[in-house]
A = this chain, B = another copy of it.
Amino acid sequence: MDQTKIYDIAGTAGVSLATVSRVLNHPEKVKKATRDKVLRIIKDKGYKPNANARGLASRHSTTVAVVLPTLTRASIAETIQGIHDSAKKFGYTLRLFVNNEKEDERELWSEVIASSVDGILFMNDEMSKEVYQLIENTPVPVVFVNALSKNKNIGSVSIDNEECSYELTKYLISKGNKKILFVTTESYYAINEQMLQGYKRAVNESGLKEFVIQSSGKIPVNEVQFEKYLKENEKPDVVLGVRDSMTISFMNVAQKLGYKVPDDIQFMGFQNTRYSELSYPKLSCISRPIYEIGNVAMSKLTELIKDENKTGPSKTFLNYSIVWRDSTKNN
């Protein structure tokens, strides 16, 4: 019933533990004959090295921490799937840290460090200064995933949010749309802020007015706000929302009030989550490659982990395109 130990393998193979350990970690250092023999026995017995012991002895655990604000957002779940698939390929296991209560960022971070992971994938976008210091002094590599670090020394993987928002807004303006409403989040996220900047740049260049509202993460709250907005303001030509869930929620409210989509109002998202395929009509989106972003971030992290003479980390921008679906007239 007890798990097989490395001793057992060594015993039945007639070699020392060191050799067994070597076939696992540095197979090239072991003669093929012995290696094969040991490997066969390992397989027979279904031996798996104890992760704690291995981690303790080698100082690397082949596990990485994923720090995120919540799992209930589709974009985050899909990104983690991307992280996972890449992690699996490289032999890493994932440890989850959810930071939903803002108070204990510091506490959480200590936990992350103490868990002796080899690297950290960070999906929370915004942290207090204090925590930024902790991140900076962290003994293992950190990569920001679909998020931005204020700190130049920390790598990140995302799309060029400012640019994509700018381009999209420009394009919509070129199609004759005048009132473009930008819906962002109440809480500050650097990437949302960048999209907002891109939008503003485009609108200002064209001499149009800015229209921006900030919304909660809660659908029922948003609905009230959106309904109020539509009743008290001139209708927008296009609504641009940083989160698909918010955008779709807005679209539904508009339809309930009798507006036709896309004829009266058009809607566009920036995430391209599964939501966008399930809305009615389907949501046109910037096709932010959220799965890919997770995937690439994890590969990047493994490189940083392996790279002894750490080449300074960098911002990686992934390509995006636009998926025209049924919530816009432009397809």
The reply to whether B81 and A98 form a contact with Cβ atoms under 8 Å apart is yes
Q: Is A255 an interface residue (CB 8 A)?
A: yes
Least CB distance, A96 to chain B, in whole angstroms? 4
Taking a contact as CB atoms closer than 8 A, the residue among B113, B277, B278 that contacts A3 in the complex is B113
The answer to whether residues A278 and B219 also contact, given A53-B56, A84-B98 and a CB cut-off of 8 A, is: yes
Q: Which residue of B has the minimal Cβ distance to A137? A: B1
A residues 94-118 touching B (CB-CB < 8 Å) = 94-98, 100, 110-111, 113-116
Alpha-carbon distance between A95 and B94 when the two chains are bound, in angstroms? 6
The reply to whether B277 and A280 form a contact with Cβ atoms under 8 Å apart is no
Q: Is A78 an interface residue (CB 8 A)?
A: yes
Contacts of A116 in B (CB 8 A): 50-52
The reply to whether A114 and B49 form a contact with Cβ atoms under 8 Å apart is yes
Q: Is A274 an interface residue (CB 8 A)?
A: yes
Task: List 24 interface pairs A-B (beta carbons < 8 Å), by A numbering.
Answer: A1-B137, A2-B139, A48-B114, A50-B116, A51-B115, A52-B52, A52-B61, A66-B96, A71-B84, A72-B81, A74-B77, A76-B77, A85-B100, A93-B95, A93-B96, A93-B111, A95-B96, A219-B277, A219-B278, A249-B277, A251-B280, A252-B280, A252-B282, A280-B280
Q: Which residue of B has the minimal Cβ distance to A100? A: B85
The reply to whether A95 and B63 form a contact with Cβ atoms under 8 Å apart is yes
Residues of A participating in the B interface, judged by any CB pair closer than 8 Å = 1-3, 46, 48-53, 55-56, 61, 63, 66, 70-72, 74, 76-78, 80-81, 84-85, 88, 93-98, 100, 110-111, 113-116, 137, 139, 219-220, 245, 248-249, 251-252, 255, 274-275, 277-280, 282
Contacts of A55 in B (CB 8 A): 52
